[in-house]
Structure 1
Amino acid sequence: MTNPRGREPERVPESDPSDLLTHATRGLRRRWAASLEPWGLAPHEARALRVISDSDGARLSDIAAHLRIAPRSATEVVDALQEKSLVERTPDPTDRRAVLAVPTDTGRALAEEIGAARLQVSRDYFSRLEPQEQDQLAALLHRLIAD
């Protein structure tokens, strides 16, 4: 059986937890990326728009840190969002040398739509688990990522 993109599905690993987690994460990421297609955004653009909208404006260095990318890559992402009229650059009122990427009204509205779509993708993906299983999975993942 092939997936919607015409590729053969990945073989599901037998029992290695790291492989299982990677496989599950890839499945969720594929669904998330597919949900963005109607808006013509890549996942990294949607994530950047969320960072910018959530903070009502962000420096490029902050965007790079949130996305875990190089500052020059953040510049390219913001350039793409600006070309789509989703963000604009404005001087940082607290530092004249710095520039903020600020969401436009269109960008802010789109960030809300995308947030709702992301939540629906997540709900659909995890709906195969009972509510108590979802809670258990969340607890286990919290334990794994705790420092």
Structure 2
Amino acid sequence: MNKNTDTFIPKRDVSEFQHLVAAIFQCCQERLQYQSERFGLPDAELRCLMQFEGERYLTAKTLAYRLNVAKSRVTKLVSSLVKRKLLASRPDPADSRIKLLSLTPAGGLLLKEIGRFRFEVHRTVLEQFSDEQRGELLHALSLLSRHMKSVKDMMA
């Protein structure tokens, strides 16, 4: 998978990278748990709701793809969010077999509140860095994201 097969990467570097990624992932998982508790939604429903950011309508099929879950799982998530009056479901005017899902006004307000919370969490993390460190961090994370995506694409 390494583009430059002549590059030697010490085992300790790979181990440290694995450890750091795992620690960051764990921290993110804990934040997601806190977020779920704060907004009174199970994590899966919260993630489903967040898919509507910037979207007018979505279908169950689109949600299943984005969330990487079975359509039957999305049906349960959507049903719960409809019961909570956070999502609305209506037939597609072009094809009545398809249901268009959209945020209700209450769902839109909750999504904005979640967005503000997430923004503040990330802003608070970035406050811990100097301007120079912040620039270096964002550059390094951009590189990391790009390289992780390229390895994922090679694995597919």
Specify the TM-score bucket, using the shorter chain as the normaliser. 0.7 to 0.9
When Rg is computed on C-alpha atoms for both structures, the one with the higher figure is: 2
Q: Which residue is 2:136 aligned to?
A: 133
What is aligned with 1:36?
36
- Where 2:51 maps in the other structure, the secondary structure is helix
**Residue matched to 1:123:** 123
Q: What is the letter of the counterpart of residue 80 of structure 1?
A: S
How far off is 1:109 after superposition?
1.1
> What's the TM-score, normalizing by structure 1?
0.79
1:11-26 matches, within 5 Å, as 15-26=15-26
Q: Which of 1 and 2 has higher RCO (CA within 8 Å, sep 6+)? A: 1
* Gaps in structure 1 of 5+ consecutive residues: 1-13
* Aligned equivalent of 2:74: 74
Aligned partners of 2:38 and 2:51: how far apart in 1? 20
* 1:61 to partner: Cα distance: 0.7
More helix by share: 2
- CA-based RMSD of the aligned residues comes to 2.0
Change (3 A) 1:43 1:120: farther
Matches within 5 A, 1:46-85: 46-85=46-85
TM normalised by structure 2 equals 0.75
1:146 is aligned with what amino acid? K
Deviations 1:4-45 (A, max 9, x none): xxxxxxxxxx94312321221220221132033232012221
Which residue does 1:143 correspond to in 2? 146
Task: Classify 1:42/1:137 alpha carbon distance in 2 versus 1 (closer, same or farther; 3 Å).
Answer: farther
* Percent identity (aligned): 26
SS at match of 1:88: strand
Q: Go from structure 1 to structure 2 and tell me whether the alpha carbon gap of 1:29 and 1:123 turns closer, same or farther (over 3 Å shift).
A: farther
Q: How many pairs align? A: 134
